[in-house]
Structure 1
Amino acid sequence: MKNLLAITLCVMFSATAVAESPDDVGRADTDVDFTWGVEIPVRDDTVLNGTLYRPDGYSLDDDGPLTTIVTITPYISDRYHPDAQYFARHGFAFLIVDTRGRGNSEGSFKPLDLEDGRDGHDIVQWIAEQPWSNGKIGMRGGSYGGYNQWVTARYFPENLDTIVPIASPYHGVDFPMNDNVQYPYVIRWLTLTAGVTPQGRTFGDNAFWERKFLEYHQSGLAFEELDVLVGMPSETFDEWISRPVMDDYWAARVPSADELARLDLPILTITGYYDGDQPGAMQYYREHMRHGSEAAKEKHYLLLGPWNHSGTRMPAQSFGGIEFGDKMMFDAFALDRDWYRWTMEDGERPEFLLDRVTYFVAGANEWKSAPSLDAVADDELVLNLGADRPKHNIYQSGVLAPEPDTGSDYSEYVYDPLDTSRAERGTADDYIVDQTEVVMTHGDGLIFHTEPFDEATEISGYVRLEAFIEMDVPDTDIDATLYEIRADGSSIALAGQTLRARHRDGPREVRMMSPGKVEKLVFDRFYWFSRKIADGSRLRLFIRPANGIDNQRHYNAAKPVHEQIAADARTATVRLHHDEDHPSRLILPVVSSDG
């Protein structure tokens, strides 16, 4: 399997190229009325363009003002036509607004910038002043449309009653970099949103982008040259990649601790186990749980399922080479509809949301709920890393065991950053079950296996890897991925994380590794997941350099990674210690059989 994190990021905004389509759109009884070209002035006199949908035959005199749902998007309002039809048919007004500088809105589009929140505030307040609005306003949208909700809420529009942020990127956390690691997909997305109209065909040309990203890997050019290489020079790209540290630039573009402490409205956060924006969506959630008032936290619900980015809005039972249980499927549009009726009208709480955290247990084919993330798992399984030889392959691997291994004191791999063979293998469509990279590993990665489980075991939550690492270069990128290996030998990717060693002390810190010195590197930002590991299955931990086609090239040098070129390359020997003084271990959140 290729780098799980890189692939989930690669499809992060892929849903932007296709419309969401609730099941009942297109039926004869879905007729609605709409007004195109609605002009919405904001504080700097820029006029934004909207399309307003209302129930068929709606009359203000006969029907009165309506509860309104608003989506603000850079992907052009027409994309949300099916959504608007659905909610208008169910009695809501639905307003789709092009972000400034996109579609038919005036102004210049600067992605994920400060104007998004201010414009969002003004749009909400404008709606409240319209005769067809009853003053109750909720927001909806995924990906950029989820981000827009969070940055609108930080300006506290008086008439904003609820938000439903789905798969929301958190600026600097998962887009346009993930844990301080930048990635080529960013320029692909900037091409999609260039100009005022969608560049859907260019964005969706996988062959073109794979060829260009491979050309970048083989060229030896610096990452900062990627925009020119693909034919899309971009000031935004240059601005973003020049800031690889999570500093005040990034912090200014998301809600602050003080703003989260003031925030007090119902929120439904939705993300998936294979959603490239899960880190962002969960960052918003966890920051709100950290800083919000007790009353506000009681109103914040979280829904997690085995979805990729687009599946967070239109769940698919199968993708990435695996089919999930039939009970995973549910009517996502109906859930949102019921949420709005509960939070803005006189409806009941959606039955699907039994508690504040609702999640799907893959492998068990069941939904479960808990009052908080911390309450999901009631135990932990600690597995020590060990090996009887330093070099690994799939047949001669290390072990994951409750008791420390007494064999070799360390395992190691050698990484030559000039070797582009992994990038040349491209990306597998069945990335969740693909085992190519593990099979091809011979001394350039580490593989650890457990013994077969003697009973089914639910793992639900964040995995944590504590690895004692020594290397002979100042920096490198290390990818760690966890898998279930079933009794028949098939593989299921569960979660992963890429860690840039220089940022091991935190996203605001930079500290190079000292050659020959052993340091504890903590991988504590694996994707959240839930799966019942089958009786007879094993777990596999795969540790390797992050050098696939969807990765930023890191030549293991100390200079900023976006400036590194092939001439800076240094072959790295990365040694993972697992002796008595360096107990490298994997910590798994477990739900007991009676939990």
Structure 2
Amino acid sequence: MSERSFTVIENTFVTLNDGTRLAARMWMPDGADSDPVPAVFEFLPYRKGDGTCSRDESTYPEFAKAGIAGVRVDIRGSGESDGVIDGEYTELELANAVELIAWITKQSWCNGSVGMMGISWGGFNCLQVAALNPPALKAVISIASTVDRYNDDIHYKNGCHLAVQLSWAATMLAYQSRTPDPALVGDDWRNMWLHRLEQEPFFLEEWLAHQTRDEFWKHASICEDFDAVKIPSMVLAGWADGYRNTPMRAIEGMPDRSKALIGPWVHKYPHFAWPKPRADFTGEAINWWNKWLRDEDNGADALPQMRAYILEGIKPAPRRDFDPGFWIAKDSWSTPETRSMYVENGKLSFEAGDDEIPAADVYLKSPLDTGTAAGEYFTLKPDVEMAIDQRGDDAGSLVFETTPLDVEVDLLGRPVLNVDLECDADWSNLCARLVDVHPDGTATRVSFGVLNLAHRDPAANYDNPQPMPRDKKVTITLTLDACGYRFKPGHRIRMALSTSYWPMILPPPFDAGLTIAPSSIKFDLPLLGDHEKITVKQPDNPDPLPTYIEHKPSRTERSVQRNLTQNETRYRIYEDTGLFEHPDSRLATRSVRSETWTINPLDPNSMRGEAAWTCDLKRDEWSVRTDCHAELSCDRDNWFVSAWVIAYEDDQQIFEKKWEKTIPRNFM
């Protein structure tokens, strides 16, 4: 099929039934009014004009050339859309998405078939909207998403409090505080901006009000009812990202209507993600849309159920441009066979011990700053946002490892740890890490899992935490994150256990230790099993992102500082996007993020996090700025939350708002 020419509609408004106007950017194949085309819809709060424009311009033009319209809409209260956002994946958001799909099908240029797509927020809500079954929605592509909003997102993980919850609340405060573009909305931009600033919520207050897996988190978690999703779903993820579990969970929950693709990537679209190798995402997507939106017989329905990149002996950050490994396919996915490991004479072994006298119990209480080598929960760059050499964290952990391997060990799936332990407080956090120890001693984190021991009973669905019994060992099952990995001959397999994983995981209110029975440890590794080695097509364009005008360069830093006199550890993140101008809109934008976490390694209630953003928008003589700041601290019984936002027009302050709240801790 020859490429079609297309037109970009930079901004158009869709008026919802309640009168709210939502702003859309569209890529329209020429001649669609007389020869209607399918449409792909993406629904985000990240600002189509200056937030996601780069990735949109790498993807939607390729769809349009293939005769597929792209409809990129900003959620209410973001970009040029009216109103104020009311949270993540709310009933209103999803209802608006259903209404927008109906609007698309009524347009003369649409053939009546719609697909929905997205990464992260857009990957979440396309699956959530699919579960509502709007009749015109025929297929989805979900990238870096989740099916379980409590256990597998940026808020909580198996009852543990993720530090990225504060980071993301500050990020959303910064995103939602930005002004609409006057060039697109006209003279009303200032009134829209002030209304948004006055009414926008600070999300962390709501998230911390729900510290267990209650109905708030069950809403829009499609794992509650996979059968509600009745349309074909392609689910993608990267091993270097925090959302690596979803493809497996999707094909296990929807085996007859989903396909999985997992690469080595960070939290980016696969055609421009790092580490390489990349995948031809636009080609994959076009085939998927043509099959399900045009009924084209192109084999997309016969794709293997699982395609995955098996990492092979990779070295950790500071930067990973290319990860060695190989692609495999499994036509049908099933629960992997496992190979169990045990602790025998202080070593990790594939043979169970038969000692008549079991090994002595071991007491573990990690320094509270154990975890600074963990990287960030979801990663945007292939540098130290990813986990670095694990030897520093392993020094504060209980470690067992094998002798050097004689043959390779290939894994694909989720490792599972079973261990008997006793806690000397009501609960503790437990972190388990699977580590590849290279012959030179370099330690690469392959997988990790965390568990708040008060949430140890999955039968209670994590909404009814229970204190640990005293003076009694309990068998704990901890499922680690999915991995695809080859341990090479000469390498060693290490298991590391710690009671801290800071700052990724925030500590409980007491510095608890664990008494662990090494003889009880059973560590099940998911074997790769039968598979076919395949090739996955690389993108034709090795650098698909557009080039914008640089006025100030970007800069990024990660640092750890230990003040030995004050006994304080400080973890600092600094991100400056640089000042870049879009050559067409002439809008120049810059964002600076600074985030700092501090803790006294002997006092869990000394923990403190601060996240700040400065966001600039400029065009000619017009300029606006917002400064946003959020803080989280605690004592034994409470979380203390505060935030503020200040807005400036031409360097003159025009608005200020503050939030401050105390929220009781609930087994957290």
TM-score, length-normalised on structure 2? 0.66
2:13 is paired with a residue whose SS is strand
Q: Taking structure 1 as reference, are residues 53 and 173 closer, same or farther at Cα in structure 2, changes over 3 Å only?
A: same
Residue pair 1:76, 1:198 contacting (<8 A) in 2 also: no
Residue pair 2:270, 2:279 contacting (<8 A) in 1 also: no
Partners in 2 of 1:186 and 1:30 — Cα distance? Answer: 43
Residue 293 (structure 1) aligns with:
none
Residue 470 (structure 2) aligns with:
515
Partners in 2 of 1:528 and 1:454 — Cα distance? Answer: 24
Q: Indicate yes or no: 2:435 matched with 1:435.
A: no
Residue 356 (structure 1) aligns with:
305
TM alignment of 1:261-276, pairs within 5 A: 261-276=227-242
Match of 1:186 among 157, 165, 168: 165
Residue 332 (structure 1) aligns with:
281
* Higher RCO (CA < 8 A, seq sep 6+): 1
Partners in 1 of 2:6 and 2:249 — Cα distance? Answer: 37
Residue pair 1:46, 1:107 contacting (<8 A) in 2 also: yes
Match of 1:385 among 343, 349, 353: 343
Residue 457 (structure 2) aligns with:
505
Residue 210 (structure 1) aligns with:
none
- Aligned-pair distance for 1:282? 4.8
Residue pair 2:77, 2:176 contacting (<8 A) in 1 also: no
RMSD: 3.0
Partners in 1 of 2:340 and 2:290 — Cα distance? Answer: 44
Match of 1:81 among 47, 52, 57: 57
Match of 2:268 among 310, 327, 346: 310
Residue pair 1:481, 1:495 contacting (<8 A) in 2 also: yes
Residue pair 2:447, 2:481 contacting (<8 A) in 1 also: yes
Q: Taking structure 1 as reference, are residues 235 and 191 closer, same or farther at Cα in structure 2, changes over 3 Å only?
A: closer
Q: Indicate yes or no: 2:333 matched with 1:370.
A: no
- Aligned-pair distance for 1:477? 0.8
Residue 39 (structure 1) aligns with:
13
Partners in 2 of 1:401 and 1:76 — Cα distance? Answer: 52
- One-letter amino acid matched to 1:133: C
Residue 445 (structure 1) aligns with:
397
Q: Indicate yes or no: 2:498 matched with 1:544.
A: yes
Partners in 2 of 1:426 and 1:523 — Cα distance? Answer: 21
TM alignment of 1:23-62, pairs within 5 A: 32-55=6-29, 57-58=30-31, 60-61=33-34
Residue 592 (structure 2) aligns with:
none
Match of 1:530 among 454, 462, 484: 484
TM alignment of 1:92-241, pairs within 5 A: 92-112=68-88, 113-169=90-146, 170-175=148-153, 176-194=155-173, 197=176, 235-241=202-208
Residue 412 (structure 1) aligns with:
363
Which runs of 5 or more residues in structure 2 are unaligned? 180-199, 313-323, 377-382, 533-668
- Aligned-pair distance for 1:339? 1.1
Q: Taking structure 1 as reference, are residues 197 and 578 closer, same or farther at Cα in structure 2, changes over 3 Å only?
A: closer
- Aligned-pair distance for 1:431? 4.2
Partners in 2 of 1:50 and 1:133 — Cα distance? Answer: 15
Q: Taking structure 1 as reference, are residues 59 and 426 closer, same or farther at Cα in structure 2, changes over 3 Å only?
A: closer
After superposition, give the CA deviation of every residue in 1:540-574 in whole Å (9 maximum; x if it has no partner).
Answer: 11111224223223233xxxxxxxxxxxxxx4331
Residue 212 (structure 1) aligns with:
none
Q: Taking structure 1 as reference, are residues 242 and 400 closer, same or farther at Cα in structure 2, changes over 3 Å only?
A: farther
Partners in 2 of 1:257 and 1:449 — Cα distance? Answer: 38
- Aligned-pair distance for 1:66? 1.2
- Which protein is richer in helix relative to its size? 1
Sequence identity (%)? 19
Q: Indicate yes or no: 2:446 matched with 1:494.
A: yes
Residue 543 (structure 2) aligns with:
none
- Which protein is richer in strand relative to its size? 2
Q: Taking structure 1 as reference, are residues 272 and 237 closer, same or farther at Cα in structure 2, changes over 3 Å only?
A: same
- Aligned-pair distance for 1:123? 0.7
- Aligned-pair distance for 1:45? 3.0
- Aligned-pair distance for 1:382? 0.8
Residue pair 1:247, 1:508 contacting (<8 A) in 2 also: yes
1:307 is paired with a residue whose SS is coil
Residue pair 1:381, 1:590 contacting (<8 A) in 2 also: yes
Match of 1:590 among 504, 527, 543: 527
Partners in 2 of 1:198 and 1:140 — Cα distance? Answer: 25
Residue 67 (structure 2) aligns with:
91
- One-letter amino acid matched to 1:518: K
Comparing 93-102 with 529-538, which one deviates more in the overlay?
529-538
- One-letter amino acid matched to 1:130: Q
Residue pair 1:117, 1:154 contacting (<8 A) in 2 also: no
2:173 is paired with a residue whose SS is coil
Partners in 2 of 1:234 and 1:178 — Cα distance? Answer: 24
- Aligned-pair distance for 1:495? 0.7
- Aligned-pair distance for 1:91? 1.7
1:403 is paired with a residue whose SS is coil
Partners in 1 of 2:529 and 2:4 — Cα distance? Answer: 47
Count residues with an aligned counterpart: 481
2:506 is paired with a residue whose SS is coil
Q: Taking structure 1 as reference, are residues 446 and 257 closer, same or farther at Cα in structure 2, changes over 3 Å only?
A: closer
Which runs of 5 or more residues in structure 1 are unaligned? 1-28, 201-232, 290-296, 319-327, 389-397, 557-570
Q: Indicate yes or no: 2:444 matched with 1:466.
A: no
- One-letter amino acid matched to 1:263: V
- One-letter amino acid matched to 2:361: Y
TM-score, length-normalised on structure 1? 0.74
- One-letter amino acid matched to 1:509: N
Partners in 2 of 1:416 and 1:584 — Cα distance? Answer: 22
